[in-house]
Amino acid sequence: MAKARGFVEFNTEACKGCELCVKACPFDVLDMNHLVNGKGYHFSYMKNYDQCTGCASCAMVCPDVVITVYKVK
User: pLDDT per residue over 13-68, tens digit each?
Assistant: 999 999 999 999 999 999 999 999 999 999 999 999 999 999 999 999 999 999 99
Q: Which CATH architecture has domain 5-72?
A: 2-Layer Sandwich (3.30)
SS3 56: coil
pLDDT value at position 4? Answer: 80
CA distances from residue 72 to 2, 14, 42 in whole angstroms, order as listed: 11, 25, 27
pLDDT value at position 3? Answer: 72
Determine which helix (DSSP H) or strand (DSSP E) holds 46, and give its type and residue range: strand 42-46
Q: Are 54 and 69 in contact (CB under 8 A)?
A: yes
